Structure 1
Amino acid sequence: MRSIRAAAVGAVTMSLALAATACGGGSSSGQGSNDSPKTLTYWASNQGASIAVDKKVLQPELDKFEKKTGIKVKLEVVPWSDLLNRILTATTSGQGPDVLNIGNTWSASLQATGALLPWDAKNFARIGGKDRFVESALGSTGVQGKDPAAVPLYSMAYALYYNKQIFADAGIAKPPATWDELVADGKKIEAKGKSVLGAEGSNVSENIHHVFVFAKQHGADFFTSDGKPNFTDPKVVDAVEQYVGLMAKDKVVPPGDAEYAQNQSVSDFAKGKQAMLLWQSAAANLKSQGMSEDAYGIAPVPVQSGTPGTGAQTNSMVAGINIAVFKNSHNLDGATQFVKFMTGDDEQKILNKAYTTIPPVKTAQQDAAFDAPADAVLKSTLATSAAALPQVASESQFETAVGTAVKELFADAAAGRTVTTDSVKAQLEKAQQQMPAA
């Protein structure tokens, strides 16, 4: 099963040079420049606990595709730590795979390189139509108003995971629905000698995911309607201050979590060291670390007030993996057939079940295999209260700059330095100055 690194799912820091990158023409010697209509190369992202697990999941499905079409798929599972650099190298050299997986938040930035096949109405028709896909998943496939740069493959959402025994011992009857309730529950949990909430303060991508949600809950956006950075908007500042304040002010996140960046908070939660965890589609991750499904509950991420919904009640970014085609592939027909196969109802059920993700294909998502309580929370979140990260060409630079600013603010909090509105604003102003000119 999958053991997802938070730094990797749906968002990995991208080179600042990306926006200026352009894709050259294909070369017959390239890895994906395949002159044979009977072979394809496929870079799959590492969704499982190991590359070996992914091969075990994927190879039988690729064999099915070969038996059905006569096209052999050469599989390479690429670690998330390498995937983005490999893709960037391929976009500049013109020598990449035919088909590849990308984190969905990369869509707009990679779209700007011109390297990926646009999914216009004609191409979508070849895989069964655009209306097969859940609207929220389509929102993370590229810049609004342009043909998508990729097709949704696996969907994920954030949820609040809570330790049932720790809650019972603290006399807490139900998971918190608001941040005020979470902080109040935290006092009861701490009185029983347990830590309250895990975080990954040094994980740039996790930081972005959370402050994006807090900004939505404050009615703010990091970018203006014309795509310009707006990081010092007072509501954005308030949102970042509230998130970092979970450690700095409310004391529900342990100071040591400021150094966490590689699944350590998941490990702490799985071992019963912390009562709550904010994570995206964590079931497989927790299982891989030995935590029984009976030991924890799952609930929507808290909001400011009321219940999760659209607008200010947003409680997750739209997380997930998209599948894309290099447009300089010499086997575009075969690549399109492969995308159709991977996004078909049968494969969507098989693959998303294996990875404990949610199918972005409507009919597959409605299958009884995805009716477990945890799936119900994630499906509801994706359908009603999740929002796509900014679909702008500079999205990757935004992740780097703001995510690092939050990391530094967590470091201040852990060191006992006061985190104030002014210090938050100063960090966000510094981040905005690092953004490329329009």
Structure 2
Amino acid sequence: MGQPTHALKEETTAMKTRASLTIAGLTVLAVTAAGCSGSSSGSGDADGPVEIEFWASQQAPSIALTEEALQPVLDAFEEESGIHVKLEVVDWANLTNRTLTAASTGVGPDVINIGNSNATTFQATGAFLPFGDEELEAIGGSERFVPASFATGGAEGQPPTSIPYIGYVYGLYYNKNILAEAGVEPPTSWEELTEVAQQVTDPDNGVWGLSIPGGMTQTNMHMAFILGTQDGGAPFDSEGSPTFTDPGLVDGIQRYIDLIGSLGVVNPADAQNTDTQQPMANFVDGKSAMLMGQNDVERALRERGLTPDDYGIVPIPTPIPLPSGGEDISSFVGGINISIFKNTEHKEAALEFVKYITSPEAQEIIDVPFGALPVNTDGVITYTDNPVAIETFSEILANRVTTFPRIPTFAGFTANVGGAVTQLVAQAATTGSVSRDDIVDALQEAQEQFEATN
């Protein structure tokens, strides 16, 4: 869903709870919402200043740093509009449950951040304001947003209930020195990626082709979806029914598992990495030649002492030729959206705030500490001055992305298929190989678990 790298471990923990949500009727798992204030709690009267409440997702390494990054923007908005924004930053481990609790009880903020992969799940609660023609006009129109990002706002054929806020996409980072010493170029196809990885892998000297967070359900789902889409796979049919054993999805997962299995270009110890910190450390320390990660990884690498002279970035390559039905993508559209609760007493103020905080001017400020991509068509990348990163990630977001299936039950795919891939990674690390039948069996079990809870 595009959370920053530091947040993914927390989000993985939260997925077990999300998997138990049934969005059919809609049944919502209620949890205690300590500290929540109602949408109607935004203050102000006809003669006084208006106050709205904003729950922001934690995008910096800490809640305090996220607050520090956002407050200047909120202060500037108040100076311009006279509207005071009461800010609460919520960590990713709690954001999903608190959002669903607010949706089911009607007690929550006026405005809230959501992971865009949850947009249709939250839309199905009926608690969020649809952005119809009037609302879209109030925030400056839909055409100012990157189309792929805007498409994440809700189910197809319905007015969106969330608007793009900040963006993230995946790319492939490579160590320039390791590739140069091996006499190889950055890969432009999946076949080249595996060849490069095999040429540079040297277990005796502790160097591997790639490093992965193999024990991390969220990232394993991401890789299954990206590679499966490249291979023509689809996890759901046109009716929204699960098709987890789709041959293309199986092919994509096989390619991912083979990296640590039959190809032996990933350290078996990577199966135990439950967050992104160790793979990044391996890359920084020259223990891996390549790393698949989102654009905010580039900022993290530089904070750890690397410079653009040390690494390059290319799209995650596809098989060549592209399999039948396959898509030439490097990523899904990751990112954070922003929504308004339907029962807010300050709709006009909330819309004015959404317009402001998603403007190119505000995003130029916000994107720097969050390592994020702008979601406006005329936005400027400000989190990095690396021209290669700017060019590569701009190209990926504009032309080499797809969206997650826009259905309310998508969280079940994350938990069940991501969990299955995590188990397959562990099996490959232990046994050295995973067969196609093993993958099909694991995905069939994942689908049965999904169907039992959705």
Pairwise same-fold verdict (TM > 0.5): yes
Please report how far the alpha carbon of residue 333 of structure 1 lies from its aligned counterpart in structure 2 after TM superposition: 1.6
Q: Kindly tell me: are residues 405 and 298 of structure 1, through their superposed partners in 2, closer, same or farther at Cα, counting changes over 3 Å?
A: same
- Please name the residue that 1:33 is paired with: 40
Indicate if the aligned counterparts of 2:42 and 2:53 stay in contact, CA closer than 8 A. Answer: no
- Please name the residue that 1:134 is paired with: 146
SS at match of 1:363: coil
Q: Kindly tell me: are residues 368 and 183 of structure 1, through their superposed partners in 2, closer, same or farther at Cα, counting changes over 3 Å?
A: closer
Structure 1 position 388 matched with structure 2 position 403: yes
CA–CA distance in structure 2, aligned partners of residues 368 and 200 of structure 1: 24
After superposition, the C-alpha distances for 1:306-350 in whole angstroms (9 at most, x for unaligned) are 699x95212211111111111122222211111011011211222
Aligned partner of 1:372 among 384, 387, 399? 387
What are the equivalent positions in structure 2 for 1:42-191 lying under 5 Å apart?
42-172=54-184, 174-191=185-202
Structure 1 position 332 matched with structure 2 position 347: yes
After superposition, the C-alpha distances for 1:6-47 in whole angstroms (9 at most, x for unaligned) are 3568996224224133699xxxx9433225241111111111
- Please name the residue that 1:294 is paired with: 309
Structure 1 position 278 matched with structure 2 position 282: no
CA–CA distance in structure 2, aligned partners of residues 307 and 46 of structure 1: 38
- Please name the residue that 2:442 is paired with: 427
- Please name the residue that 2:259 is paired with: 246
Indicate if the aligned counterparts of 1:49 and 1:288 stay in contact, CA closer than 8 A. Answer: no
Q: Kindly tell me: are residues 55 and 181 of structure 1, through their superposed partners in 2, closer, same or farther at Cα, counting changes over 3 Å?
A: same
CA–CA distance in structure 2, aligned partners of residues 126 and 380 of structure 1: 29
CA–CA distance in structure 2, aligned partners of residues 69 and 384 of structure 1: 36
- Please name the residue that 2:21 is paired with: 17
CA–CA distance in structure 1, aligned partners of residues 12 and 390 of structure 2: 19
Indicate if the aligned counterparts of 1:216 and 1:312 stay in contact, CA closer than 8 A. Answer: yes
Please report how far the alpha carbon of residue 373 of structure 1 lies from its aligned counterpart in structure 2 after TM superposition: 1.7
After superposition, the C-alpha distances for 1:343-402 in whole angstroms (9 at most, x for unaligned) are 112112221233232111111248998882202111111111110111111100111010
After superposition, the C-alpha distances for 1:71-125 in whole angstroms (9 at most, x for unaligned) are 1111111111221122122122211111111111111111111122111121111
- Please name the residue that 1:351 is paired with: 366
Moved more, 394-403 or 39-48: 39-48
Q: Kindly tell me: are residues 179 and 254 of structure 1, through their superposed partners in 2, closer, same or farther at Cα, counting changes over 3 Å?
A: same
- Please name the residue that 1:198 is paired with: 211
Over the aligned positions, Cα root-mean-square deviation in angstroms equals: 2.5
CA–CA distance in structure 1, aligned partners of residues 79 and 116 of structure 2: 30
Indicate if the aligned counterparts of 1:6 and 1:262 stay in contact, CA closer than 8 A. Answer: yes
Indicate if the aligned counterparts of 2:59 and 2:370 stay in contact, CA closer than 8 A. Answer: yes
Indicate if the aligned counterparts of 1:283 and 1:293 stay in contact, CA closer than 8 A. Answer: no
- Please name the residue that 2:33 is paired with: none
Indicate if the aligned counterparts of 1:62 and 1:73 stay in contact, CA closer than 8 A. Answer: yes
Structure 2: stretches of 5+ with no match in the other structure: 31-35, 45-49
Moved more, 349-358 or 226-235: 349-358
Indicate if the aligned counterparts of 1:23 and 1:91 stay in contact, CA closer than 8 A. Answer: no
- Please name the residue that 1:414 is paired with: 429
Indicate if the aligned counterparts of 1:161 and 1:276 stay in contact, CA closer than 8 A. Answer: yes
What are the equivalent positions in structure 2 for 1:392-403 lying under 5 Å apart?
392-403=407-418
Indicate if the aligned counterparts of 1:10 and 1:320 stay in contact, CA closer than 8 A. Answer: no
Indicate if the aligned counterparts of 2:128 and 2:339 stay in contact, CA closer than 8 A. Answer: yes
Q: TM-score, normalised by structure 2?
A: 0.89
CA–CA distance in structure 2, aligned partners of residues 333 and 199 of structure 1: 45
CA–CA distance in structure 2, aligned partners of residues 418 and 364 of structure 1: 45
SS at match of 1:160: strand
SS at match of 1:364: coil
Structure 1: stretches of 5+ with no match in the other structure: none
Indicate if the aligned counterparts of 1:12 and 1:205 stay in contact, CA closer than 8 A. Answer: no
Please report how far the alpha carbon of residue 49 of structure 1 lies from its aligned counterpart in structure 2 after TM superposition: 2.4
- Please name the residue that 2:281 is paired with: 267
Q: Kindly tell me: are residues 330 and 149 of structure 1, through their superposed partners in 2, closer, same or farther at Cα, counting changes over 3 Å?
A: same
SS at match of 1:155: strand
Indicate if the aligned counterparts of 2:209 and 2:288 stay in contact, CA closer than 8 A. Answer: yes
Please report how far the alpha carbon of residue 145 of structure 1 lies from its aligned counterpart in structure 2 after TM superposition: 0.9
Q: Matched residues, percent identical?
A: 35
Please report how far the alpha carbon of residue 414 of structure 1 lies from its aligned counterpart in structure 2 after TM superposition: 1.4
After superposition, the C-alpha distances for 1:233-261 in whole angstroms (9 at most, x for unaligned) are 22222221221111111111211111112
CA–CA distance in structure 2, aligned partners of residues 290 and 321 of structure 1: 28
Please report how far the alpha carbon of residue 67 of structure 1 lies from its aligned counterpart in structure 2 after TM superposition: 0.9
Q: Kindly tell me: are residues 214 and 369 of structure 1, through their superposed partners in 2, closer, same or farther at Cα, counting changes over 3 Å?
A: closer
Aligned partner of 1:219 among 221, 232, 241? 232
Q: TM-score, normalised by structure 1?
A: 0.92
CA–CA distance in structure 1, aligned partners of residues 330 and 11 of structure 2: 17
CA–CA distance in structure 2, aligned partners of residues 368 and 75 of structure 1: 23
Q: Kindly tell me: are residues 194 and 368 of structure 1, through their superposed partners in 2, closer, same or farther at Cα, counting changes over 3 Å?
A: closer
- Please name the residue that 1:207 is paired with: 220
SS at match of 2:350: helix
Indicate if the aligned counterparts of 1:160 and 1:277 stay in contact, CA closer than 8 A. Answer: yes
Please report how far the alpha carbon of residue 285 of structure 1 lies from its aligned counterpart in structure 2 after TM superposition: 2.2
Indicate if the aligned counterparts of 2:28 and 2:100 stay in contact, CA closer than 8 A. Answer: no
SS at match of 1:330: coil
Structure 1 position 231 matched with structure 2 position 233: no
